[in-house]
């Protein structure tokens, strides 16, 4: 079993705090990206809206979520010790699982055979959408 990322808020307060901390980082990333794209001040003001920065913040938060990957057996063993709602996408006949423990309440999981990186990225977007978007 492997762990990717480090954001694993255990409750809504922790999730909000961690999300708030990504705000200035997202703004810096957007600003530096716009600078690399040679936006002048007027173009920056016109194109870099609050919505753009919010999207960057959402993506940044999601990309830092802690995701575990392992065999189906490792996943089931980990899950057996926890009382959680489970939302699993994919096939039960696939040998690997990526999962995120959202707020110590819901496990969002996705199965994969060999493309671990893609599974982790997809799962992070799913976990954000299912567990954090409405909250944050």
Rounded CA-CA distance 118/63 in Å is: 12
Average pLDDT along the chain: 96
Rounded CA-CA distance 92/27 in Å is: 40
Reported as a single tens digit per residue, the pLDDT across 84-136 is 999 999 998 999 999 999 999 999 999 999 999 999 999 999 999 999 999 99
Reported as a single tens digit per residue, the pLDDT across 21-48 is 999 999 999 999 999 999 999 999 999 9
Contact 86, 107 (CB under 8 A): yes
Sort 101 into a burial class: Cβ within 10 Å, 0-12 / 13-18 / 19+.
Answer: buried
Rounded CA-CA distance 78/120 in Å is: 17
């Amino acid at each position: 079993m492997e762990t990717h990322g480090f954001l694993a808020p255990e409750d809504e307060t922790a999730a909000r705090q961690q999300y708030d901390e990504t705000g200035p980082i997202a703004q810096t990333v957007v600003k530096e990206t716009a600078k690399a794209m040679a936006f002048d001040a007027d173009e920056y003001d016109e194109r870099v809206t609050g919505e753009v920065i919010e999207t960057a913040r959402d993506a940044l938060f999601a990309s830092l979520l802690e995701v575990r990957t392992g065999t189906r057996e490792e996943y089931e063993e980990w899950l057996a010790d926890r009382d959680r709602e489970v939302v699993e996408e994919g096939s039960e006949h696939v040998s690997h699982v990526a999962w995120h423990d959202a707020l110590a309440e819901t496990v969002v999981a996705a199965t994969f055979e060999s493309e671990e990186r893609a599974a982790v990225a997809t799962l992070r977007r799913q976990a954000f959408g299912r567990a954090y978007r409405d909250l944050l």
